[in-house]
A and B are shown apart, each in its own frame.
Chain A
């Protein structure tokens, strides 16, 4: 379980979980679940296009993820965010369907792009994945203050000169980068589970931003480690375990929040933390 190609699996999954846990905290805070689903799923089409042209799938993923993020960000300025996200997603998927119709692509390859093929990670893939992961974490660290402020109290953020639109675009680009690096590992569909389940669970336990983010990373790590181990033992797809464990962790978090509310009478931990307005200025 810890030899040869499995080492690559453990290493990449760990990086993916750290990034997903950290980026996912803001996905949940901003209520951006739909873009976080649409960008990876649409980027899958880019991978299909890349394999049609015979280039590295990472490049295809990156191009489509970034284009998707920019489309959602810019069109979302004038139209409704959820409508624009849905339409950008179906457009990317339709392109993917067109690409796939032009190739004689082997079915299992499509399946693994969508649902993840963690055991197929090669040593040459680890370096770009690690580099992109470091960029994502650095971007989150840089954007931490304005992102937190504009997610929780957008009006105060605007008053402090933080442009909501720019922050939104920057945030979507970070999601796109995180997507690009994690799709080869967890698949286009399940990175979404990792970005939603663990952070949502973490926010049920604490309302302090940094602590919640750390907790979110920890839950994401436990989720992927458990999923790899289970997948190795039972030989079922890792995606099944990631999806169900992430949902279970959310359920546990909600259960905990309810229990605390009824037994101690305190305010639910899910209430957004209040930051003093002068904090940023």
Chain B
């Protein structure tokens, strides 16, 4: 038994303070991302969810440049970016993507400038990679508190607007007819999304931020029949993928002869992608059955499509 556990968990896995931090922060971020992500995927706003990660990273590099800590830069730029996207975004889906793209393009341009100025003055070595990919192992324990507090804030505001938001998501027309504040709910959601994404981009990098925001919720929405079910499944999937990814990345140091560990982000994303593909299998089977006969497909109705 001891040998088995030694084979699964590399030497010193449980003793490493870095692993403790990564496990904690990974779980917090995975849960916040999963909850926000279920709404993001249902509303078809994956692009905004991804773009806000880059936008807040641009704010982060700007903050570094003027000597601030990254946190206010990340959150500030995320909120401003979300506000502008919502303001110029036409309510139609295509207009919204375009607005997201324009804001993203401008933010990336600023990112290029900030990083360039940062590297010429020598203030931010390694910042390019850090901001692009990030690493869960380099997060300081101090970040955990900030991430947990702001994450809780984002979740609380989501919970407060959950009912009108769901109605506005599923059928905007009925929501508008009932007098629900569709526009305001949309804006509030964008702001909650911005805070959640800025936090995860800061804590685990823009790459993993998108992966955890979209992957587990998309897989969960394919499996679960109700929204609470999807939320629970997404949280479980996200946390499991994160922890397994951390373990594999830690162990990968002992795999090759070169003693060179692979990035955590690589493992987490690979697990998430495989999960998403696997959850598509029942739907594909149902589609084949539907092609064979409508009666056989009736059993598969009532799913939330994702």
Contact = CB atoms under 8 A, between A and B. Distances in A.
Contact of B263 (A87, A98, A190, A196): A98
Contact of B269 (A28, A94, A102): A94
Interface in B106-124: 106-113, 115-117, 119
Interface string B242-263: 0000000000000000001111
A181 interface: no
B214 interface: yes
Interface in A77-94: 78-80, 82-83, 85-87, 89-91, 93-94
Contacts of B301: none
B67 interface: no
A85 B133 contact: no
A34 B47 contact: yes
A80 B218 contact: yes
Contacts of A101: 260-263, 266
A97 B112 contact: no
B46 A83 contact: yes
Interface string B43-64: 0111101110000000000000
B94 A87 contact: no
B126 interface: yes
A240 interface: yes
Interface in A4-33: 28, 31, 33
Interface residues of B, number: 62
B47 A240 contact: no
Contacts of B208: 90
Main secondary structure of the interface of B (DSSP, over half): helix
Contacts, number: 189
B210 interface: yes
**Central interface residue in B49, B105, B214, by most chain A CB within 10 Å:** B105
Nearest to A105: B129
Interface string B93-104: 110011011111
B133 A93 contact: yes
Nearest to A44: B132
A25 to B, nearest CB: 13
Contact of B207 (A90, A116, A241): A90
B105 A200 contact: no
B270 interface: yes
B175 interface: no
B100 A89 contact: no
- Chain A interface, >50% SS class: helix
Interface string B153-188: 000000000000000000000000000000000000
Contact of B126 (A31, A93, A107, A190): A107
B288 to A, nearest CB: 11
B210 A190 contact: no
B100 A33 contact: yes
A97 B46 contact: no
The residue in B47, B103, B112, B210 that gathers the most chain A C-beta atoms within 10 A of its C-beta is B112
Interface string A54-87: 0000000000000000000000001110110111
A98 B266 contact: yes
Given A85-B46, A89-B50, A239-B109, A97 B266 contact: yes
Contact of B115 (A97, A102, A115, A246): A115
Interface string A172-214: 0000000000000001011011001100100000000000000
Contact of A192 (B105, B115, B117, B266): B105
A96 B205 CA distance: 14
Interface stretch (B12-20, B23-31, B196-204, B276-284): B276-284
A199 to B, nearest CB: 9
A237 B50 contact: no
B272 interface: yes
Given A86-B210, A94-B263, 8 more contacts: A79-B276, A80-B44, A98-B266, A101-B266, A107-B128, A108-B119, A110-B129, A197-B105
Give me the 10 closest cross-chain CB pairs, A-B, nearest first: A243-B109, A31-B94, A193-B105, A239-B112, A94-B269, A33-B101, A82-B46, A240-B113, A247-B106, A34-B47
5 contacts: A33-B101, A34-B101, A107-B128, A115-B108, A246-B102
Interface of B: 41, 44-47, 49-51, 88, 93-94, 97-98, 100-113, 115-117, 119, 125-126, 128-129, 132-133, 207-208, 210-211, 214-215, 218, 260-263, 265-266, 268-270, 272-273, 276, 280, 283-284, 287, 305-306
